[in-house]
Structure 1
Amino acid sequence: MAQDEFSRITGLPDDLGIDADLQRTHQVLTVRVDTRRYGKPVTVVAGFDGDTDVKALASDLKRTLACGGTVEDGEIELQGNHLQRVPDLLRERGYDTER
Structure 2
Amino acid sequence: MSNNNLVYSTETGRISAQPTKKTPPKTDGVVRIRRETKGRKGKGVTTISGLLLSTEEIKALCTTLKKMCGTGGAVKEGVIEIQGDNRDKIKTSLEQLGHNVKLAGG
Aligning the two structures, in what range does the TM-score lie when normalised by the shorter sequence? 0.5 to 0.7
In structure 2, what residue type is equivalent to 1:92?
Answer: Q
Q: Find the partner of 2:65 among 48, 61, 64.
A: 61
The structure with the largest alpha-carbon Rg is 2
| Structure 1: runs of 5+ lacking an equivalent | 1-25
Instruction: Give the share of equivalent positions with the same residue, in percent.
Output: 34
Please give the TM-score of this superposition, normalised by the length of structure 2: 0.64
Higher helix share: 1
Cα RMSD over matched residues?
A: 1.7
Give 2:6's aligned residue: none
**Structure 1 counterpart SS, 2:63:** helix
| Structure 2: runs of 5+ lacking an equivalent | 1-27
Give 2:8's aligned residue: none
The offset of 1:93, in angstroms, is 1.5
Matched, 1:98 2:92: no
Please give the TM-score of this superposition, normalised by the length of structure 1: 0.68
